[in-house]
Amino acid sequence: MTELVRLSKRMSELGLSSRREADEWIARGWVRVDGQVISELGSKVLPHQKITVERQAAAEQSKRVTVLINKPMGYVSGQAEDGYTPAVALIKAENRWADDPSPETFHPTQLRSLVPAGRLDIDSVGLLILTQDGRVAKTLIGQDTAIEKEYLVRVQYTKEGKLPESDLKKLCFGLWMDGKPLLAAKVRWQNDDQLSFTLREGKKRQIRRMCDMVGLKVIGLKRVRIGKVKLGDLPVGQWRYLRPDEQF
């Protein structure tokens, strides 16, 4: 027998919206199942049933913005903590990159529900994504995401000589963290003291902890790419809109 599934969950699976968005739209009467308006939260559907959304929902979704920021050191990704300022505080007209090609006009309403899709440690810099769009957040931080994130990591070897090739291979595959094996990573030398890390997961302080396991001390860490979206020439402390042609 085919099992019933929550309508909001099914909409999220189909990429129509995030679950939270779906619940908002259902409450507003903007969702139809097989042509019938469904306005009761918690309603369930069968996987084969046709789900459509009203034009108002699509119009509201299209107004939601996603921004890229080059996070400086000393800013936290999410909520303000221990006296540190959250990165969203940098999203204001005067910090917008002068070379941003987007025709989008900045308005303070864009700060409403603008949340980080992923985290970047307080002492790390580089690409951070903030979005109002639940679909973008799900793509980047959903449970089954396979989006790559690339980092440039300046390191210092704390033992004699150079990092053995066997330990470089361990960084690529073979390390365990929090009782589980880490997914395979791509790690290679960029120059004498800088490594490039490409990961498909993001455990707390993962790169620093991985480096520590093989005797490397992290001196600096910068995220330069998330999926197909690159930090590029975006200056530190400035931001720009995600372009319509950019896909993670």
* Active centre residues (catalytic): 121
Q: Residue 176: which of 209, 224, 143, 152 has the closest Cα?
A: 209
Distance of CA 100 to the CA centre of its chain: 20
Q: What angle (nearest 5°) sits at the alpha carbon of residue 154, between those of residues 152 and 158?
A: 140
User: Could you tell me if 218 and 183 are in contact, meaning their C-beta atoms sit under 8 angstroms apart?
Assistant: no
Structure tokens at 161: 């000589």
Give the C-alpha distances (Å, rounded to integers) separating 47 from 30, 38, 242. 19, 16, 32
The C-alpha atoms of residue 39 and residue 42 are separated, in whole angstroms, by 9
Q: Residue 225: in which H helix or E strand, if any?
A: strand 216-226
